[in-house]
Amino acid sequence: MGSPVRVLGIAGSLRAKSLNRALLRAAGELAPPDMEFRTFDLATIPVYNADVEAAGLPESVAAFKRAIREADALLFVTPEYNYGVPGVLKNAIDWASRAAAGEAPVMNGKAAGIMGASPGMGGTMRAQLQLRQAFVFTQTHCLTAPEVAVSKAHERFDADGRLTDEATRERVAAYLVRLAEWTRRVASRITSPA
C-alpha cells in the first residue's frame, strides 16, 4: 500500500463535551503524514432492528457501511459503561456486521485500533477488551499493542476539549504510527497470494 492509510475514526459517545470525542479529535490532529483521517458520527444510527433492516437499510446505516468499506482501518474511541462497550457503539457495530446476500461483510478483514478515555483509573480497558471480543466475530484485525487507555481523562483536556497532556499526546501519536504500520501489514497479507 504506497498510498496514504485511510482511517475512519468512530467515537462511542454522542455528547458534545465527550472526552472520547475530544480524544478522537486529538487523534485527527496527531495523525502521521501517511494517514488520511476521517470520522463518522454515530448520532443518526438507529437502534438495530432486523425488521427495519429487512425493509431497507436506513440511509445513515448505509452511509456508515460505505465509510467503513472505503477505509483501510477503523479507529474506535470508546467510553466504558458498566465495565463494557456503550450501547451506542455496540449497536453501530451490530449494524455494520450485517451483510446482505452476496455482499462481503464490511468489517471482515479490516484493520482496526482502539483507544478510550475515562475519568476513572481503568481508562476503559474493560470496554476495550469487550470490543476485541466482538472483533473475533466480525473478523476485524485489531492491533493488540500498544494500548491507549486514558485514565483521569478529565484532567488531560482543557475546557475546549483540547488534549493538553503532553505524555498522552505522544502516546496517541505513537499509536497512530503503529496503526498505520499494522494496516499496511494486514492489507499485504490479505491481498498477497499465500
Residue ranges in contact with ligand FNR by CB under 6 A: 13, 15, 18-20, 79-83, 118-120, 122
Say if residues 164 and 134 touch (Cβ distance below 8 Å).
no
Helices (H) and strands (E) in the chain, counts: 6, 6
**Nearer Cβ to ligand FNR (109/161):** 161
**Nearer Cβ to ligand FNR (175/182):** 175
How far apart are alpha carbons 156 and 168 in whole angstroms? 8
In the complex, the smallest distance separating the C-beta of residue 121 from ligand FNR, rounded to whole angstroms, is: 8
In the complex, the smallest distance separating the C-beta of residue 86 from ligand FNR, rounded to whole angstroms, is: 7
**Nearer Cβ to ligand FNR (4/161):** 161
How far apart are alpha carbons 117 and 129 in whole angstroms? 14
Phi, psi of 88 (to 5 degrees): -55, -45
In the complex, the smallest distance separating the C-beta of residue 26 from ligand FNR, rounded to whole angstroms, is: 12
Residue 167's beta-bridge partner residues? none
**Nearer Cβ to ligand FNR (72/80):** 80
How far apart are alpha carbons 123 and 79 in whole angstroms? 8
**Nearer Cβ to ligand FNR (79/105):** 79
Could you tell me which residues come within 8 angstroms of residue 144 by beta carbon, excluding any fewer than 6 positions away?
none
In the complex, the smallest distance separating the C-beta of residue 75 from ligand FNR, rounded to whole angstroms, is: 15
In the complex, the smallest distance separating the C-beta of residue 43 from ligand FNR, rounded to whole angstroms, is: 13
